[in-house]
């Protein structure tokens, strides 16, 4: 019935607003253990009756919470909370402002990039503590990569993982966001790897400002090209062409995903996560990447690059890949 569909939208709106508020207040992080509502209200200075109703609504509609005796706790699949917090900070914190101002973006898509909250994005990636070894670390090890330039390095998660696993490894990182560079620098210093890892501010759209070619044996980019598919995707081709001119003959290991939104292609599993990512990209002016290997292959061909090998997989509603591309 149409009414059921509408109520699904209403439920989603109330649920997202409730979860986002509880996250920002710190209440959800506190619920890694069971806590009674009265105690939560006292700790955070909140109205107990209203908090109880909100917690019960989140429990009943989202699956994030469970009841344990007189209190609430995060559901087992939501622990540790930092994994949930990453998605909230990314989708609601970094990309949420564009969604709340969708009327403006629909009228003027050029306004979208300025609405992305880069500080929230840096905070999201700063929370990540991925299990090691990661898929990309295993791929790089198989290709005997001991020196790497990580483009869009984010919080330097990969560089730190590689350096910890191999004392021979030397890494460079570049990210266009000063917030990300700050987070990455902090992580590198905390782990005591500053003698082997260096991160600087650099934009792939300006390859001349990236590290000198003589220092770069191979390159890596995670979620690097998906940022450049607005319009006809020509920006993605131009970025690859520029990297090829700067680092000819090097191998570029690209981690990315196959888009779904506006592409009429069946998904191997529920595409909900992919559709959310696609819409976040559209609303922030990045566009939707190609939906399959042939589509990405045409991008590489247009940039005079060659696809050497493709690794693919499915996880959490995303069809991801690692493409090894010869520049």
Residue 265 has pLDDT above 70, yes or no: no
Give the whole-angstrom CA distance, residue 69 versus residue 77.
19
Q: Are 176 and 202 in contact (CB under 8 A)?
A: yes
pLDDT of residue 272: 80
Q: Identify the band that residue 315 occupies on the pLDDT scale cut at 50, 70 and 90.
A: confident
User: Residue 60 above 80 pLDDT?
Assistant: yes
Per-residue confidence band for 184, with pLDDT thresholds at 50, 70 and 90: very high
Average pLDDT of every residue of the chain: 93
pLDDT of residue 130: 65
Count how many Cα atoms sit within 13 Å of the Cα of residue 64 in the half-sphere of its side chain.
25
Task: Convert the pLDDT of each residue in 17-36 to its tens digit.
Answer: 999 999 999 999 999 999 99
Among 93-97, 279-283, 303-307, the range with the most confident prediction by mean pLDDT is 303-307
Provide the pLDDT confidence category of residue 190 given band limits of 50, 70 and 90.
Answer: very high
Q: Where does the pLDDT of residue 310 fall: very low under 50, low under 70, confident under 90, or very high at 90 and above? A: very high
For residue 133, whether the previous peptide bond is cis, meaning omega lies within 30 degrees of 0, is yes
Helices (H), 63-147: 81-87, 96-100, 102-107, 118-127, 135-142
- Phi and psi at residue 285, in whole multiples of 5°? 80, 20
More confident residue, 154 or 256: 256
User: Residue 311: enclosing H or E segment and its boundaries?
Assistant: strand 306-315
Residue-level pLDDT at 54: 97
For 283-295, write each residue's pLDDT tens digit.
999 999 999 999 9
Q: Would you state the pLDDT for residue 115?
A: 92
Q: Is 106 exposed, middle or buried (0-12, 13-18, 19+ CB in 10 A)?
A: exposed
pLDDT at 270: 60
User: What is the pLDDT, as a whole number, of residue 2?
Assistant: 62
pLDDT at 133 over 90: no
| pLDDT digits 0-9 by tens, 240-256 | 999 999 999 999 999 99
Backbone region of residue 112 per phi and psi (left: phi > 0; alpha: psi in -120 to 50; beta: other values): alpha
pLDDT of residue 269: 58
User: What is the mean pLDDT of the segment spanning 87-110?
Assistant: 93
* Lowest-confidence segment of 127-136, 209-218, 220-229, 312-321 by average pLDDT: 127-136
Residue 116 scores a pLDDT above 60? yes
The residues that bridge with 150 in the sheet, in sequence order, are: 173, 220
pLDDT of 215 above 80: yes
């Amino acid at each position: 019935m149409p009414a059921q569909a509408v109520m699904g939208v209403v439920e989603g709106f109330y649920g997202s607003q409730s979860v986002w508020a509880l996250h920002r207040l710190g209440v959800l992080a506190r619920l890694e253990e069971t806590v009674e509502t009265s105690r939560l209200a006292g700790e955070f200075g909140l109205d107990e009756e209203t908090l109880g109703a909100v917690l019960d609504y989140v429990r009943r509609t989202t699956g994030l919470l469970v009841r344990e005796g007189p209190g609430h706790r995060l559901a087992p699949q939501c622990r540790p909370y930092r994994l949930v917090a990453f998605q909230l900070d990314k989708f609601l914190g970094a990309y949420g402002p564009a969604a709340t101002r969708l009327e403006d973006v629909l009228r003027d898509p050029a306004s979208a990039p300025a609405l992305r909250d880069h500080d929230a994005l840096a905070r999201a990636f700063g929370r990540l503590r991925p299990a090691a070894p990661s898929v990309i670390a295993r791929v790089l090890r198989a290709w005997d990569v001991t020196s790497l330039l990580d483009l869009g390095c984010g919080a330097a998660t990969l560089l730190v993982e590689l350096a910890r696993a191999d004392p021979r490894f030397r890494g460079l990182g570049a990210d266009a966001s000063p917030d990300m560079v700050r987070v990455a620098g902090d992580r590198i210093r905390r782990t005591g790897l500053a003698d082997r890892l260096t991160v600087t501010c650099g934009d792939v759209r300006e390859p001349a400002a990236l590290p000198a070619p003589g220092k770069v044996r191979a390159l890596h980019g995670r979620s690097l090209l998906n940022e450049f598919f607005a319009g006809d995707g020509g920006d993605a081709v131009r970025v690859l062409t520029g990297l090829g001119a700067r680092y000819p003959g090097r191998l570029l290991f690209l981690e990315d995903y196959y888009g779904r939104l506006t592409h009429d292609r069946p998904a191997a599993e529920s595409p909900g996560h992919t559709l959310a990512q696609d819409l976040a990209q559209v609303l922030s002016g990045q566009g939707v990447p190609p939906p399959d290997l042939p589509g990405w292959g045409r991008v590489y061909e247009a940039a005079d690059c060659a696809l050497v090998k493709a690794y693919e997989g499915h996880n959490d509603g995303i069809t991801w890949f690692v493409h090894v591309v010869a520049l």
